[in-house]
Structure 1
């Protein structure tokens, strides 16, 4: 179970006891953990001792505690906060929590504050390509529509973008077919680009595997084999200039070409794309290792600033490869009972079987309601979940007969641009935090 951690700070110990007693009895208490302080020294020491992963989701504190904490670096810690107010404070109303209210009202306000969008961590280890995966627990949630719009908006903003569809059954082709056929790339090369890249990556991995077997058979020749492999790796890097995305032990020859040999330009989408695989069996047989190698190659080739991954809604190895390798996730859910239930079931299964993976994914995830219609009608499946953004329902898309119609809705484009702002703002904050500042600004 995901538990929200809240730090509560007040001089009034009776007030703190009332809070803690109520939370312990409340049905929401199992989803929330309160840590209370009444002295500055204990509170300050506790906050200083927390590393990035242990920081609370929310700080609720009286002014005499909150203001010194903000001045001493708390403002840049990434922790959301509320001022516990008695009504005479200058803070905006959205940042104030009136101290004397019924405890159920106070607890609900805290729970809602924990649901507000926050900066997500993007552990990219200095890479220049940001990979964004669009995923969902339900089919038909609009992953491809959102992925294509993200690619187009980022392309229009001046970013170099690659769109990669990893669905078992590709649904992007009807919207991209005209642009595919208008490409200057020879049709035979365009249609086989992704298939050839997957084959080349597998062939390279088999060569590495064969080299390892030779080492195991001949302990005496271990040193000569390793030296030979290193020499070939360096030669391959010089000849292709596009191999840095693979793990070091997977680079042994120069067979993989530059990424331009596999992709094609789609002018309507303002992005590079792969022609969808003609043989579905190739996609069904993609292992987690295949997916990891593919993503690492595309991230490491140095040609793109953003990689959009259009994911599947399943538990196959291809999906696991996406979950383990993407920098950020846009998790789509529709406002209907079945979709909310599947969302909760997916998280419950992941908590039971892959808790470490789930925690890592949630740190990098933005939850987005797609086909939103003025208000949220269905309850979120768990109290610790939140909504970061919404995308509107477009009735005219039910009668689509041209690819340009889906890619040209002004209302949808406006909301996707706002979502891009949210993602890029988080990425910019992460780079500033780690000292990797953008040399130029693309997004106006």
Structure 2
């Protein structure tokens, strides 16, 4: 499993080296990955070009230079040397004494990295499902009535960023035509495994033993997404035949393994397809991420779809709108079209990436620092600002 990654930015290398040595020789070596900087330019370049860490720890000089780039999307911890804390520090951080015994310092860093999360509740958090017992896993559905709006790109990047934050993530693609097949997992020998899983789902319901299934033998590790998933299936007819009860059993079985904190569900955006898979996600997801585009057609279709759902007579557990978050994709700096309903508030703007217009390497969709930064902000909104920590192999790095 992945360690918690944090950045240490202190100008004095004599301060950094003992701390790295202590981390590597202590129990923290299995739960923390440290990237350290002593040069301001290298630190700022790293923060702008790499995947955001779970926490930035630094002295006042380094942090203030970073703050000047804009409001940070990453929590920070100021190493206070006794001077007055600058009043211009943005929200989202705290401070601790710079000079203190290393065990206490690492305790403070660890506590900040492993802050209390509201993943399972709270006004700003997401619950682990509504009406469907899924163990401890929170189900997040990424939905849209539009095709080609960037829904799958968002879903995959969300799965990746939740994993970067240290959560145990499963990416579940329920599209009729699975677009994640364009992103090879790097895991061989699982061809046809999802078809076998669908057979098990049908068989379990026919013989009445449909409480939970053993789904772990069918999972694989996706190297690009940094999370678990199923091998994509190209048998469209099999996917189209999935019923609502099939989908509920699959979600329940994944959540009941106890192996995941978050299940990100990528739903079908095409119109006219069987909606039973989508209905299961709409009913049972703790959070629904609606992907909008800033154009009249997108806003109209999204508003009409939501109106239709609310007027369908189906009682959505937890309230459909209460669990919904709205994201504008391909945002160019100004929102021209108003949201289609008065009770819709835009929660996130995902930037337009011009280089994606003509794309020859699809893996670049998972590697844009600007896009990932905004997706990370969205993930933190859903978590209520909390982080999760996992154990794993530690790597200490010092950048001069």
Structure 2 contact 159–171 (Cα < 8 Å) conserved: yes
SS in 1 for 2:311: helix
Matched residue, 2:233:
277
Alignment of 1:207-356 (within 5 A): 207-208=207-208, 250-251=210-211, 256-257=213-214, 259-313=215-269, 314=271, 316-354=275-313, 356=315
- For normalisation by structure 1, the TM-score amounts to 0.55
CA separation of 1:169 and 1:354: change in aligned 2, threshold 3 A: farther
Pairs within 5 Å for 1:12-411: 119=124, 122=127, 124=129, 127-174=135-182, 176-177=183-184, 180=185, 182-183=186-187, 185-186=188-189, 190-208=190-208, 250-251=210-211, 256-257=213-214, 259-313=215-269, 314=271, 316-354=275-313, 356-357=315-316, 360-411=319-370
Q: Secondary structure at the match of 2:290?
A: strand
C-alpha separation in 2, matches of 1:390 and 1:344: 18
Q: Which has the higher contact order (CA 8 A, sep 6+)?
A: 2
| CA–CA distance in structure 2, aligned partners of residues 160 and 383 of structure 1 | 36
Three-state SS of the structure 2 residue aligned to 1:141 is coil
Higher helix share: 1
- SS of 2:316's partner is helix
List gaps (5 residues or longer) in structure 1. 1-117, 209-248, 429-437
Pick closer, same or farther for the CA change 1:296–1:365 going to 2, 3 Å. Answer: same
**CA offset at residue 441 of structure 1?**
4.8
Q: SS of the residue aligned with 1:342?
A: helix
Q: Secondary structure at the match of 1:363?
A: coil
Q: CA deviation at 1:126?
A: 8.5
**Residue 310 to residue 283, structure 1, CA distance change in 2 (3 Å):** same
Once residues 204 and 358 of structure 1 are traced to their aligned partners in structure 2, the CA distance between those partners, rounded to angstroms, is 26
Q: Quick one: structure 1 residues 166 and 123, their matched pair in 2 at CA, closer, same or farther if it must change by over 3 Å?
A: closer
Aligned length in residues: 262
Which 5+ residue runs of structure 2 have no aligned equivalent? Answer: 1-122, 391-400
Cα distance, 1:387 vs structure 2 = 0.7
Normalised TM-score (structure 2): 0.61
Call closer, same or farther: CA 1:121–1:149 in 2, change over 3 Å. Answer: closer
SS across alignment from 1:391: strand
- Superimposed CA distance per residue, residues 44-99 of structure 1 (whole angstroms, 9 cap, x where no aligned partner): xxxxxxxxxxxxxxxxxxxxxxxxxxxxxxxxxxxxxxxxxxxxxxxxxxxxxxxx
User: Which protein is bigger by CA-based radius of gyration?
Assistant: 1
* 1:173-192 residue CA offsets vs partner (Å, 9 max, x unmatched): 11x12xx3x32x42xxx122
Q: Deviations over 1:95-126 (max 9, x none)?
A: xxxxxxxxxxxxxxxxxxxxxxx726636479
Q: Contact 2:126/2:383 (CA < 8 Å) preserved in 1?
A: no
Alpha-carbon contact 1:167-1:310 (below 8 Å) kept: yes
1:416 maps onto 2:375 in alignment:
yes
